[in-house]
Amino acid sequence: MHGIERDRPVGICARCHRVVRSFEEIGKKCARPLPAEKKCPGIIRTAIDADQWSQCPSCLGSGRIDDNICEKCSGEGWVYVR
């Protein structure tokens, strides 16, 4: 069973691949928590073109399969393809 389809992301960190859905985060430091209490030093870049994303075929864009996070897309519902 799949959940509701998530909106397509608008940005991604080129370093750790954190996905964002808010235009306000574009151009800012990622700061995603990493192991050993460090934060990602990457910058969020735009990824708004439709051909940059593919809806995850495993979860159909919901990020979940039954009660579990989809492993193929890490729960995002979309896979960055470019």
Q: How far is CA 6 from CA 11, 24, 29, in A?
A: 14, 18, 24
**For residue 54, what are the domain limits?**
11-80
Residue 36 lies in a domain: yes
**pLDDT tens digits, residue range 48-77?**
998 999 999 999 999 999 999 999 999 999
CB atoms within 10 A of CB 81: 9
Please tell me the total count of domains within the chain: 1
**pLDDT tens digits, residue range 10-44?**
999 999 999 999 999 999 999 999 888 789 999 99
Residue 3 lies in a domain: no
Residue 15 lies in a domain: yes
Contact of 78 with 8, CB cutoff 8 Å: yes
